Amino acid sequence: MADAWWRGATIYQIYPRSFQDSDGDGIGDLPGITSRLDYVKALGVDGVWLSPFFTSPMRDFGYDVSDYRGVDPMFGTMADFDALLAAAHERGLKVIIDQVWSHSSSDHEWFETSRQDATNDKADWYVWADPKPDGAPPNNWQAWFGGPAWTWEPRRRQYYLHNFLPSQPDLNLRNPQVREAIKDIARFWLDKGVDGFRLDVVNYFLHDARLRDNPPSGRPEPALPRDMQEHAFNSNQPETLDFVAELRALTDSYGDRMMVGEIAPGSFDLMRDYTRTQQRLHTAYAFDLLGDWPGAERLGEIIARWADGLEEGWPGWALSNHDVARIATRWSAAIGASEQRTGVLCLSLLTTLRGTIFIYQGEELGLPQADVPFDKLQDPWGIAGWPQNKGRDGCRTPMPWNASTDGGFSPGSPWLPIADTHLTLAADVQDRQPQSVLAIARVLVSLRRMFPAMRTGALSLVPQTTPGVLAFTRGSGEEAFLCAFNFRDEAAAVETGLDDTLDRVFGAGQGREGRVVVPAHGVYIGRRPEAGLREPAGDGERLLAEAAALPIPD
């Protein structure tokens, strides 16, 4: 387990709708992904995570599944998936697929049966409840996309639970039959050879059996009714971990496979709870780093709280994904740096963290958040919340492969417009620039692969006296690295916690005994000269020379 491929791995998230269109309909597809695997391989990542490509009415763009064993025709066929899986494995890339087991689509045959009456063979496969005497929903639970988490079904004369859209009814995972049906789905994909699962909103698998009201949150100026309450009873139930243990046992029976859980919004404590011991998730990520800039001091607290040991759990980290604004934009204003500078600063941070890390497509290019006009919006959340909440379309726009009008994404009209700001950062443009963000990304990911200390070594926070500065060591003894990040708008002295002189690996800084002066919004990664390599020394020394020569763009 200590040497499992996923421990310390770098996984590249692909949002299929927006990665590469192969047939001209403006929507990315599985053959398109296959055609770009050489690009993914060149990044140096260990594998890919594919967001849903299953049969779906697409009311939430695939996170509402109507057939867990089917490929939606807009993405291709099962043969296309088999070809993608084989091509990835030929390149040494693992393949993780999204699984949405908290809820299904309301179009799923299970729900179509369940909603008919209270006596059919699927009657208890979803969460149903009687109204209160006055006809109101059974409790005060609020859905994440706005409004009550309950919708009335006239055929059953009952309410059904949906923590998200009304078209996403919650499965009743307290029912053993439902659990077995989900495990059968897992076996289907594991038998095909996938290397693991990303479990959508895993902490919403089970609900409080007594349907108790959620307490008020007391948050000032809540954006939505959901923010007015703590989700104490419609999520994070202790029994969820029992089902997670069943899934872990099943996954482990297939050998070196893995599960990563999304804990939404989650916290460090939940990440630890869901990964501690070897009977829970292999790793998990929460939204601690997917929200607003927490400040350097809080950031250090979040990343440094993981103890060593196989029983202590293993963190997962993401700074961007398909649900939140891109990190280059999301943190730039608070940090006071340009979007490009912020993107590199954060990419450097991500690739040096202890845990399994996830890079969202385009993050390696330093893409900022796209500004999608209202008349081009697709996300129902953004359409309903405009203009205060513009939804998730800005992080889901098509991948820019070249600087042409369509970005090389599709010969047809893309499902979302390609941002003009992205075309100048296109992959082929940066590929021709030896000191681009893409070049930096490739070097940072490769450094993580080559050095055991950077991949799985311990992380120790180095206390600082200067606000806005973060520093930690990776590894120990002769293997130690220093990773320093200056989030200030002026140069800052960073305590290294190491007595000897360091060799600069990446970034900029002037080293002194026990400290290094890092430029404004700068990065410094240094190593002891004796630090070991996973790869042959020649390759390692070449990579170190490349890394040291790369400046951080403004």
Of 268, 250, 249, 271, give the one whose Cα is nearest residue 260.
Answer: 271
> Strand 459-461 and strand 356-360: pairing?
unpaired
Q: Are 21 and 409 in contact (CB under 8 A)?
A: yes
Catalytic status, residue 213: no
Q: Which residues touch 198 (CB under 8 Å, ≥6 apart)? A: 49, 96, 97, 98, 99, 259, 260, 261, 262
> Strand 510-512 and strand 481-486: pairing?
unpaired
Instruction: Determine which one of 153, 170, 195, 200 is catalytic.
Output: 200
CA distance 21 to 35: 10
Q: Can you tell me whether residue 229 is helix, strand or coil?
A: strand
CA distance 386 to 390: 5
Catalytic status, residue 200: yes
Of 463, 470, 503, give the one whose Cα is nearest residue 488.
Answer: 470
**Structure tokens belonging to residue 69:** 């064993």
The stretches of 30-149 forming alpha helices (DSSP H) are 30-35, 37-42, 78-90, 109-114
CA distance 544 to 392: 38
Q: Are 240 and 202 in contact (CB under 8 A)?
A: yes
Q: Which residues touch 325 (CB under 8 Å, ≥6 apart)? A: 369, 394, 395
Instruction: Determine which one of 64, 98, 195, 262 is catalytic.
Output: 262
Cα dist from 216 to 104, 119, 173, 260, 452, whole Å: 28, 36, 26, 30, 46
Q: Which residues of 197-226 are buried (b: 16+ CB within 10 A; e: fewer)?
A: bbbbbbbbbbbbeebeebeeeeeeeeebeb
Q: Can you tell me whether residue 247 is helix, strand or coil?
A: helix
Q: Are 417 and 397 in contact (CB under 8 A)?
A: yes
- Using CA of residue 103, residue 78, residue 86, residue 440, what is the dihedral sign? negative
Q: What are phi and psi of 440, to 5 degrees?
A: -60, -45
Q: How far is CA 83 from the centre of its chain?
A: 25
Catalytic residue numbers? 200, 262
